Amino acid sequence: MKCLIIAAGKGSRLQQKCNSKPLIPILGIPLIERVIRSAMEAGADEFYVVTGYQGDRVRSFLSQLSNRLKIHITPLTNGDWEKENGLSVLKAQEYLHEPFLLLMADHLFDPALAGELIEFPLADGEIALGVDGDTRNPLIDMEDVTRVKVENGKINSIGKEISDFNGFDTGIFKCSPAIFDALEQCKGKNGDTTLSGAVRIIAKEGQAKAINTSGFWIDVDDPAAFTKAEKALLDNLRDKSNDGPVSRYLNRPISVMFSRRLARFNVTPNQISLFSFLCSVLATGLFTLGGYLTMLMGGILAQFASIIDGSDGEVARLKFQSSDYGGWFDAVLDRYSDAFLLFGLTWHVYLNTSGNLVLWIGFAAIIGSFMLSYTADKYDSLMRNRISKGIRLGRDIRVFVIFLGALFNQAYSVLVIIAVLMNIETIRRVIICRECE
């Protein structure tokens, strides 16, 4: 699927952030790159980008991005960039002879929305527009949004001034080459060179389909919208269905604040994972020193490591750096961290009790934590549709219990609790999975 992106405007309302609107970074990634990466996730694999204001800078960036992402990006130039957006679309007429995705460089969106448009079967002469039917969407600027009236799955009217509407133009189109004919016709008939004008012409012929979309999208057109976009991107990070209770209600809200700042720097997710692991190692060293104060400091550092451990995945999603290797690398370091922390706690108790029993309890705690992690994927895959969701005894709870043990000087009790709970839960999973085979 080819993709045309309009990136010619000046964006005067965002000039204080960057002199070129497509290059304005939002959480570390320029707007145009976010749009291209989202389109790639949706299924687009070849891009045409219409540039105008600050065109040399944008084209230079696109050349670097093309090499970095190993995709084909063809820059097109619109010398009349100060005029309406339909002229930018017309610049691609000689290149696009089959259905294509049409996007705006300042519209951020969930890739799933564009994916719906890509999958939609488009007949000759038709266009399809993603229409947001949520007329109370808090991300919408009612004074600037393009409104749409949809009837029986087709666009009846479209424009910023219409009062009778039931949806909003998301700026995500799938177009046949008929869009170019409509633009030429609209331009010659009344001098209207807006994209909405061309849509109205196609709508009169009953060929403008409306695809009802629901999900994140926003037109980043002014400072208020920029702030909303940042917040929405960060809020999406909090929604992780497999989070345990400590991660969901304590760790995630804090890690998102860290991630918001880390995303602006040249820090990779794997480096964050390694930093979290090193914090756990340092916490272990503090545990082994034996005193209450050092144990407390170690507990605080262990909990901090657990919090910052969430930032690696968050930064990866914010900066489109997610990878199977990164997830695996993080899981490996988590297992090492668990072993170090529980060993340190065991050593601390042994120094203060000199009893050999604690060595066996510590061993049981380490084995239990390992086996609980090892059985998680198998258990989740078997139980996903068979049991109601309850409290998940994951790593977030384990580290938080260690922190509480350090805080209340109850290291021995914590080891016993972890050893018992982790092994009982592992045995329970084995029995349940056996019965469900």
- 114-153 pLDDT, tens per residue? 999 999 999 999 999 999 999 999 999 998 999 999 999 9
- pLDDT band of residue 394 (cuts 50, 70, 90) is confident
| Burial class of residue 339 (count of CB atoms within 10 Å of its CB; 0-12, 13-18, 19+) | middle
Taking each continuous run of H as one helix and of E as one strand, the counts in the chain are 15, 13
Q: Which CATH class is domain 2-225?
A: alpha beta
Q: What is the pLDDT of residue 383?
A: 61
Q: How many CB atoms lie within 10 A of CB 164?
A: 8
To the nearest 10°, report the CA torsion of 249, 251, 257, 259.
-130
CA-CA distance, 229 to 317, in Å (whole number)?
15
Q: What is the pLDDT of residue 431?
A: 85
Kindly list the domain boundaries of the chain, sorted by start residue: 2-225, 240-436
- pLDDT band of residue 391 (cuts 50, 70, 90) is low
CATH superfamily of 240-436: CDP-alcohol phosphotransferase transmembrane (TM) domain (1.20.120.1760)
| Burial class of residue 252 (count of CB atoms within 10 Å of its CB; 0-12, 13-18, 19+) | buried
Give the highest mean pLDDT range of 241-245, 367-371, 372-376.
367-371
Q: What is the pLDDT of residue 252?
A: 93
- 173-190 pLDDT, tens per residue? 999 999 999 999 988 888
Whether 97 shows a pLDDT value over 60: the answer reads yes
**Pure H helices in 354-410:** 357-383, 395-407
- 417-432 pLDDT, tens per residue? 999 999 998 998 888 8
